[in-house]
């Protein structure tokens, strides 16, 4: 990582990774409530889920750091940021879907906008990242 911009991109991706982790836990509790798990079973499986998904989150952070460290050009850092952030936003939208489709859509247009903004922005970031990969020098 040679530039301050890479550190900023990494920090944003780390914060999104932790936000994804907490949304995944909420997702687990929503699914548990929907299927009617007993309290003891929810307690046990939530701890296992937190450990497994926590390790996956740490692995994701290490992967982000290695990609940003190995970048050769400034446009690569931007491309990595777009693709990593885009996929994280899509994952956040997927984890928030059970809440939104069971209750959130009744909360009005602001809640609808907040939910739909994540997959739209995530898809746009991934698409722009693919375009940057096709034209690395801005041609």
DSSP for 23-87, please give it.
HHHHHHHHHHHHHT--HHHHHHHHHHHHHHHHHHHHHHHHHHHHHHHT--SHHHHHHHHHHHHHH
Q: What is the mean pLDDT of the chain?
A: 84
Q: Say how many residues make up the chain.
A: 139
Structure tokens at 94: 């997927």
Chain-centre distance of CA 76, in angstroms? 20
pLDDT tier at 139, thresholds 50, 70, 90: very low
pLDDT tier at 136, thresholds 50, 70, 90: low
Cα separation, 2 vs 10, in Å, equals 12
The closest alpha carbon to 92, from 32, 16, 34, belongs to 16
Beta-carbon count within 10 A of 128 CB: 15
Q: What is the pLDDT of residues 31-77, one digit of tens each?
A: 888 888 888 888 888 899 899 999 999 998 998 888 888 876 777 88
């Amino acid at each position: 990582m040679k530039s301050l911009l890479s550190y900023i991109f990494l920090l944003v991706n780390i914060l999104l990774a932790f936000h994804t982790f907490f949304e995944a836990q909420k997702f687990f509790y929503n699914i548990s409530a929907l299927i009617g798990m007993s309290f003891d079973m929810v307690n046990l499986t939530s701890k296992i889920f937190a450990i497994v998904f926590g390790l996956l989150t740490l692995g994701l952070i290490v992967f982000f750091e290695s990609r940003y460290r190995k970048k050769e050009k400034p446009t690569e850092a931007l491309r990595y940021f777009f693709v990593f952030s885009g996929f994280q936003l899509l994952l956040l939208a997927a984890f928030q879907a059970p809440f939104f489709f069971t209750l959130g859509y009744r909360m009005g247009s602001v809640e609808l906008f907040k939910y739909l903004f994540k997959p739209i922005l995530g898809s746009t970031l991934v698409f722009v990242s693919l375009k940057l990969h096709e034209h690395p020098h801005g041609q």
